[in-house]
Amino acid sequence: AKYHQHYPPLFDPLLKMMLDGVRQDPHTKAAHLQQLEVDLRAHRVDLDAETTTNVRYKDGTSYGKSIIATKAISNKLLQEVLYDVLRLPKREKTRKDTGEKTTTADSVALRSLALRHKATCGRLVELILAYRRTGKIKDFIKEGVADADHRVRCQYKFTTETHRLASSKNPGRTGQNLQNVDRSVRRHYLSDPGTVFIELDASQAEDRIVKVLAYLLTGNRDLLWRAQAQPWENDEHKRAASAIFKVAVDAVTKAQRTLGKTSRHAGNYGMGGKTHSENLLKQGVVITPDEAQTMIDAIMAADPEIAEWQRATRIAVMRDRAITNVWGWSLSFKYDRLDDAVYRRAYAYRPQSDCGIMTNINGIVPFWAWLAEQRRRTRSVAWAMTRLALQVHDAIIVCCPPETAYDVAAFIKQHLETPLPYDGGRCPLVIPATLKIGTSWEMAKEYTQFPSREELEAECRSLLAGQQALLAGAAVG
């Protein structure tokens, strides 16, 4: 019954999004690829100079050769340099399927080595990561992603444990995961001609749900206020950074806020310092496991009620072998061996599944029906041009002309902000939806507070005029 209630209403809107795809600007893509090629060549020159000249055996002899085979870095040669030539301690990882330990030189291992042996391999690791990062972005925008009409079409799937949508290549083997597009590549994706992107995103949704669940357990009304506060009233990521770095909330920097955000999620979901450190290393942030644990501890000390909620969650799993979310869906642990990994899944299930279903059932489904009604009622070109473009985790992105932008944004915001009935409806939680707009997926403008119709339409027209001027200039050039 839950399946039929949740998934079939999504079939038509998701299929339409998959068939329509998203426009990709071939000129922006080509220029970006060209620049990446230049950057890759420069990185290769620097990396070759480092390995042929500066990397030396213990007796002082130069390694004397490149570790780049054709275009990619040879993992065999890289491990030879790190563990045989430089004699650095080997890093291992465990395969999830077999439990087998293997020697690795992945990004986490490299950053870990650079953190502890900066004098020996700091410069080498910096060059390797720069080469890999540039190559990864280049591969992400490679040929074969867009179809002949310069549109990228993904496939949406119902395969996640938390009922969020997953994205991948389409059945025709073109396209890609459009929920995990690197931010440096989002400028390639354009709204349809004559339209802008309108994005509504549930603000700090998972953390708000954790806060309200902890409030229901402990009765701490400050947690309830923080769960219900508008974005301009409270920023949980800044609050977390303030606890970590012992600075005033208003003095938190952008980099500190980012660490506050990731550390808050780590604390909410029972992550340890080692895993948190490794996740930060993947993002290029070098923090030792002890430092990462200190960050988590600072946040948990500031909000001890979170630990009480986690304890109650563990008890529920042991007692019921299941966790049930606000929508009535349950995640069963009937055949699982209860350990920390299971408990972490249990912590994450309610916040993530409550958000995932909310975006689909309160967002996509009613918007799809409402859009059909607007098209039927008005028979206008503006509404015919309005369409669902993307679903990205807790965000819905629509293409629409300026004439329909306000109505679209207001409708989605109203429905995403439908109260979630915690405690049987006695503690309703409204998660605010924030608005972004742009003619590319970079999103040129973000609104903290919802604009007036006149303000939003004027900004949309201004963005379109700016895009047209750029295109005209490019054509002349």
For residue 433, what pLDDT is reported? 98
Q: What is the CA radius of gyration of the chain?
A: 25
3-state secondary structure of 231: coil
For residue 340, what pLDDT is reported? 96
DSSP 360-407: IIIIIHHHHHHHHHHHHHH--HHHHH-EEEEEETTEEEEEE-HHHHHH
Burial of 367: CB neighbours in 10 Å, binned 0-12, 13-18, 19+: buried
For residues 408 and 460, give the distance between their C-alpha atoms in angstroms, rounded to a whole number: 13
For residue 255, what pLDDT is reported? 94
Domains and CATH numbers, the chain: 2-25+149-204+356-476 (3.30.70.370), 28-140 (no CATH)
Determine the angle formed by the axes of helices 118-140 and 26-49, rounding to 10 degrees. 160
Structural tokens at position 265? 């999620």
Query: Pick from 322, 330, 299, 295: which is nearest to 214 by CA?
Result: 299
Query: Pick from 333, 337, 335: which is nearest to 313 by CA?
Result: 333
For residue 65, what pLDDT is reported? 94
Query: Pick from 153, 125, 115, 159: which is nearest to 54 by CA?
Result: 125
Structural tokens at position 118? 């900066």
For residue 475, what pLDDT is reported? 60
**Its pTM surpasses 0.85:** yes
3-state secondary structure of 344: helix
For residue 154, what pLDDT is reported? 97
Which parts of the chain have pLDDT scores under 50?
A: none
3-state secondary structure of 108: helix
For residue 476, what pLDDT is reported? 62
Are the CB atoms for 439 and 190 separated by under 8 Å? yes
The DSSP H or E segment spanning 200 is strand 196-202
Tens digits of residue pLDDT in 102-141: 999 998 899 889 989 999 999 999 999 999 999 999 988 8
For residue 391, what pLDDT is reported? 97
For residue 474, what pLDDT is reported? 63
3-state secondary structure of 455: helix
For residue 287, what pLDDT is reported? 86
Tokens 């690791």 correspond to what residue? 125
